[in-house]
């Protein structure tokens, strides 16, 4: 294994969803020897979340260094971000150089709008699933899944599902025992089955 940590860049936009970002980053951050985390925003400095608190972006989009793993969250701000052509073009270019492209919740709609999921299987927040599908007509949307893996694209269901996906990605990159230790150390009950999804039925998708 390389001694250099894998670089993860979480993409922020105004009114992003807090747990979409910081749930997965908490899991990755337990392993600082394996992962190096950064936040990327419209500009360096504070970016407001959907819930109000601001996160400090380490880099502006224009100045962000390349990373190994891109993480794209959802949030109310997706409604503005998804019609921002400059943002989508930047996102497409930025993800093109990464090894893994990941999303949580409606972040998959942003990936789809940037043509990053064309020809891939993917999932998203079940409550917003119809809206997400509208923005990815060339995506094979999976209505019942906690998370979906298709080649180097990892997409999760709503909000807390990103934590399960982050642990699964850790297991994929390293080993399952390590991922389970992260879950145990954070006192998190990891849903290890990507097909576990009671929320699809709750929202009438199956």
Residue 90 confidence (pLDDT): 98
Structure tokens at 20: 């979409």
Exposure pattern of 156-186 as b/e (b: 16+ CB <10 Å)? bbbbbbbbbbbbbbbbebeeeeebeebbeee
Residue 3 confidence (pLDDT): 77
Residue 126 confidence (pLDDT): 98
Residue positions annotated with a catalytic role: 105
- Per-position pLDDT tens, the chain of length 206: 457 999 999 999 999 999 999 999 999 999 999 999 999 999 999 999 999 999 999 999 999 999 999 999 999 999 999 999 999 999 999 999 999 999 999 999 999 999 999 999 999 999 999 999 999 999 999 999 999 999 999 999 999 999 999 999 999 999 999 999 999 999 999 999 999 999 999 999 99
Q: Which of 200, 5, 10 is nearest to 102 (CA)?
A: 10
Q: Which of 29, 38, 36 is nearest to 11 (CA)?
A: 38
Q: Which of 4, 5, 91 is nearest to 42 (CA)?
A: 91
Residue 2 confidence (pLDDT): 56
Residue 52 confidence (pLDDT): 97
User: Looking at domain 6-197, does it have CATH number 3.40.50.880?
Assistant: yes
φ/ψ region of 152 (left if φ > 0, alpha if ψ in -120 to 50, else beta) reads alpha
Residue 167 confidence (pLDDT): 98
């Amino acid at each position: 294994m390389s001694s250099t940590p894998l670089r993860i860049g979480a993409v922020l936009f105004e009114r992003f969803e807090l747990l979409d970002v910081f749930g997965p980053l908490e899991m990755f951050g337990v392993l600082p020897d394996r992962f190096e985390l950064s936040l990327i925003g419209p500009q360096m400095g504070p970016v407001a979340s959907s819930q109000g608190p601001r996160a400090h972006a380490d880099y502006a989009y224009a100045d962000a260094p390349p990373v190994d793993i891109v993480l794209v969250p959802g949030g109310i701000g997706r409604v503005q971000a998804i019609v921002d052509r400059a943002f989508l073009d930047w996102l497409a270019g930025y993800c093109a150089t990464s090894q893994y492209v990941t999303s949580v919740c409606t972040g998959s709609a942003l990936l789809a709008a940037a043509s990053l999921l064309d020809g891939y299987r993917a999932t998203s927040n079940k409550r917003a699933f119809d809206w997400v599908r509208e923005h990815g007509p060339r995506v094979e949307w999976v209505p019942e899944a906690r998370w979906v893996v298709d080649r180097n694209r990892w997409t999760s269901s709503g909000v807390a599902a990103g934590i399960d996906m982050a642990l699964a990605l850790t297991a994929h990159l390293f080993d399952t025992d390590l991922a389970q230790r992260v879950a145990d150390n954070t006192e998190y009950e990891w849903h290890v089955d990507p097909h576990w999804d009671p929320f699809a039925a709750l929202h009438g998708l199956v």
